[in-house]
Amino acid sequence: MIRLLATRLVQIVLVTALLSFAAFLLIGLMPGDPIEMAIAGDPRLSSEDAARLRALHGLDQPLMARYLAWAGGVLEGRFGHSRLFALPVAALLWPALAGTLELLGLALLLAAGLGVGLGALAALRPALAPLVQGLALFAQAVPAFWLGMLLIILFAVHLGWLPAGGAEGGWRALVLPVATLAFANLAAYARHAAAALAAALAEPHIRTARARGAGEGRVLFRHALPNAAVPLLTIAALDAGALVSGALIAETVFARPGMGKLIYDAVMGNDFNLALIALLVVAVVTMLATLMADLAQRWLDPRLA
């Protein structure tokens, strides 16, 4: 376990370094820079002013030198400022990350709970398996942005029960975006849980437990579910990354502050420093979630160690 943890942490560091260099290189090769945008916004700036500003911000240096300077600052905790919001990047980053983790955590719990429940129903009652599979396929086929707009029209516009978006309103403002993300992601849990639980319920030790008089609930939760949890944890780890793109849609549709909307606004507003830092934070969080899932898998099944 310790060897796995050390190996994966080294991999996370290397992948983050390579991703940061690739992203910085692509942004550096794009036409235009912040100084050119400043000149376009203020025609009074002369070419001498532009040269002085480029030298001040290090934009007259080779790309590799600029990357090393930027990476050194990030390692020291200096994330720079956002040109779009006129605030330090750190002041924007951590509240957005907290909002996204809250949204994704609730959506992941709801999707996993409903999906595993539907999978267990299909495994225990094979006659209902086609219905569960049909619901899973429907959930997988529905676009998240379309579902979000339908929920807004129904529950916010027509019924007036819930707010249409924003961060105000406490838990009520979370209901619609969480439901949108959870419904769009429960399909994988339902289908994999149905297959894994059906295979686990056919094992000899399950028949032995039933022969000893164990009820269906005890058989399912005590004996079958721990064996079926390993592939489900893999799905959860993959969802940690896939839900980020879903969070972009949900946070945009419901106007919620978060990492997805922050990256979208930064890219659309040409705030490349903010976009780059936010992208790296999302990548690191995704890799840490995958590591936690791997550790949980080995805790549940020591044979994987």
- For residue 246, pLDDT beyond 60: no
Of 1.10.3720.10, 2.30.40.10, 3.90.1150.10, 3.30.930.10, which CATH number belongs to 93-304? Answer: 1.10.3720.10
Cβ contacts of 186 within 8 Å, gap of 6 or more: 110, 111, 112, 114, 115, 118, 136, 139
Span of 47-56, 232-241, 279-288 with lowest mean pLDDT = 47-56
Mean pLDDT for all residues in the chain: 78
- For residue 301, pLDDT beyond 70: no
Fill in the amino acid letter for 305.
A
Average the pLDDT over 106-120 and give the result.
86
User: Which band of pLDDT confidence, cut at 50, 70 and 90, is reported for residue 14?
Assistant: very high
- Residue 97 · residue 260 · CB < 8 Å: no
- Residue 53 · residue 35 · CB < 8 Å: yes
**Res 274: pLDDT:** 86
Question: Which of 199, 214, 44 lies closest to 123 in space, CA to CA?
Answer: 199
Cβ contacts of 79 within 8 Å, gap of 6 or more: 73, 88, 89, 90, 93, 273, 277
CA angle at 96 for the pair 283 and 247, rounded to the nearest 5° = 65
* Residue range 289-300, pLDDT digits in tens: 778 777 776 776
Question: Which of 121, 132, 231, 239 lies closest to 185 in space, CA to CA?
Answer: 239
**Res 45: pLDDT:** 63
Cα 124 from Cα 216, distance rounded (Å): 9
The more confident residue out of 238 and 147 is 147
Supply the angle between the helices 272-300 and 2-29 in degrees, to the nearest 10: 160
User: Which band of pLDDT confidence, cut at 50, 70 and 90, is reported for residue 269?
Assistant: confident
- For residue 214, pLDDT beyond 70: no
Q: How far is CA 30 from the centre of its chain?
A: 27
**Res 217: pLDDT:** 65
Distances (CA, A) of 280 to 15, 21, 24, 88: 10, 11, 11, 16
- For residue 156, pLDDT beyond 80: yes
Two structure tokens written together for 222: 């005590």
Question: Domain locations in the chain?
Answer: 2-89, 93-304
**Res 109: pLDDT:** 86
* 3-class SS of residue 253: helix
Cβ contacts of 288 within 8 Å, gap of 6 or more: 12
Helices (H) and strands (E) in the chain, counts: 13, 2
- For residue 2, pLDDT beyond 70: yes
Two structure tokens written together for 171: 């838990």
**Res 34: pLDDT:** 62
- For residue 270, pLDDT beyond 80: no
DSSP assigned state of 166: S
Cα 270 from Cα 274, distance rounded (Å): 9
**Res 33: pLDDT:** 60
- For residue 95, pLDDT beyond 80: yes
- For residue 252, pLDDT beyond 60: yes
Give just the sign of the alpha carbon dihedral 155, 106, 268, 55: positive
Rounded to two decimals, the pTM is 0.73
Cα 194 from Cα 210, distance rounded (Å): 20
**Res 305: pLDDT:** 56
**Res 243: pLDDT:** 60
Question: Which of 241, 232, 230 lies closest to 287 in space, CA to CA?
Answer: 241
**Res 83: pLDDT:** 76
Span of 28-37, 110-119, 199-208 with lowest mean pLDDT = 28-37
